[in-house]
Each structure stands twice: as structure tokens, then as C-alpha cells.
Amino acid sequence: MSKNSPIADVVMHPVRLRIIQQLGTRQVTTADLRAAMPDVPQATLYRHVAALVEADILAVVEERRVRGAIERTFTLGGRMAHVDQAELREMSEQELRQSFLTFIAHLGETFDRASTSDADGDYRDFLGFGEVQLHVTTADLSEIQARLSELLAPYLSATGPEHRTVTFATALIPEPPRRA
């Protein structure tokens, strides 16, 4: 996979989505990734990290020698892990369905990990999900997205030990046009 590959081809894999989620807005080492994803074989993890680096989804920000090996530290790269509208339009119906199902599966896996590994039992204090139907124009939706980005911007970086990381997922699914 090269930097010219569509982002969806690169990130729409469960292991790669988990790697991207581990980074969020922070920096992680390969050792951090191995510790956070013990169910993924090391060779598989490294192969997916390499694909993400090659596609500029991850960037290497530091390399240091640890016991004779090179330990790399990663952050999200220049392309970021987001499928934009142009790429969504280029997908076939099958690719679009597969990408959405991968997203939903990853969200379910994130939920499962949170609900089964919360030692102090307070994850429900942070948990919420729901669905609401909005009645918008294209301009309205554009404004909502811009204001939501502005609202969330201060919370995209961890600033102290009292902060807890939560996953905030969105899905915009337009209803099909109504037939007369």
C-alpha cells in the first residue's frame, strides 16, 4: 500500500483500526501497541503498522535503541485516519457496505473491551449512545459538522492524569428520498 492508496483501503481493517484508536491524539511506541493488543501476533501487528506508516496514516516521530533493537514512537500521520467525501463517492456499493460494517464491528469491539475490562466499574458513568433524526439542508449539515469540530477540538489531547479517554463515534446516514 502506498501513500496514493485510498484511505479506506488502508484503514478499513480491524487491526489497523485498533492501532489508529490506540494513537488517538497521543504518541505510542511499538511496545505500547503490543501491550494494548496482546491478542494480535507481533508479526501481524508490525505488518499492519508498516502498512499504516507507508500510507502516511502513522508517522514515526522518534527512534531509540532498546536492548539492541530500534523502538519507534508513532503519532497520526499527515493523511489522518478519516475517509473523506471524495473517497466515499469513489467506493462501490460493496466497498461502502464493507467499510461501514468494519466501522460498526470496530465500535462493538471497543465497547466490549471497555465493558469487560473496567476494574473500578465506572465506565457506565461515561457511557452513552443514542440516535436522533435531524431535518437539515446541506448547508445546515455543513454548519453542524463545523461547529461540532470546533466544540470537540479542546478535548482531542490528553492534558493530565485526571482525564479519561472516551471514544466519540458519529455516523451520518441519510434516509433515501421519499417517492411520491
CA angle 155, 74, 102 (to 5 degrees): 70
Domain assignments of the chain as residue spans, ordered by start: 7-116
Contact 5, 55 (CB under 8 A): yes
103 band by pLDDT with thresholds 50, 70 and 90: confident
- Burial label for 12, CB within 10 Å (0-12, 13-18, 19+), is buried
Provide the grid cell at 31: 511496545
* Identity of residue 50: A
Tell me the pLDDT tens digit for each residue of 18-57.
888 787 667 889 999 999 899 999 999 999 999 999 988 8
1 pLDDT above the threshold of 60: no
Does residue 156 surpass a pLDDT of 50?
yes
Distance CA 130, CA 114 (A): 18
pLDDT of the residue at 109: 74
CATH code of the domain made up of 7-116: 1.10.10.10
Q: How sure is the predictor about 10, in pLDDT bands with cuts at 50, 70 and 90?
A: confident
Query: C-alpha 35: how far from its chain's center?
Result: 18
pLDDT at 87 over 90: no
Cα 33 to Cα 27, 102, 109, 117, 173, distances in angstroms? 11, 20, 16, 17, 32
State mean pLDDT over 144-163: 84
**83 close to 7: Cβ distance less than 8 angstroms:** yes
Which grid cell is 177? 428520498
Q: What percent of the chain has pLDDT over 90?
A: 20
Longest distance between any two alpha carbons in the chain, whole Å: 70
Answer yes or no: is pLDDT of 88 > 60. Answer: yes
Closest CA relative to residue 53, chosen from 20, 102, 91? 20
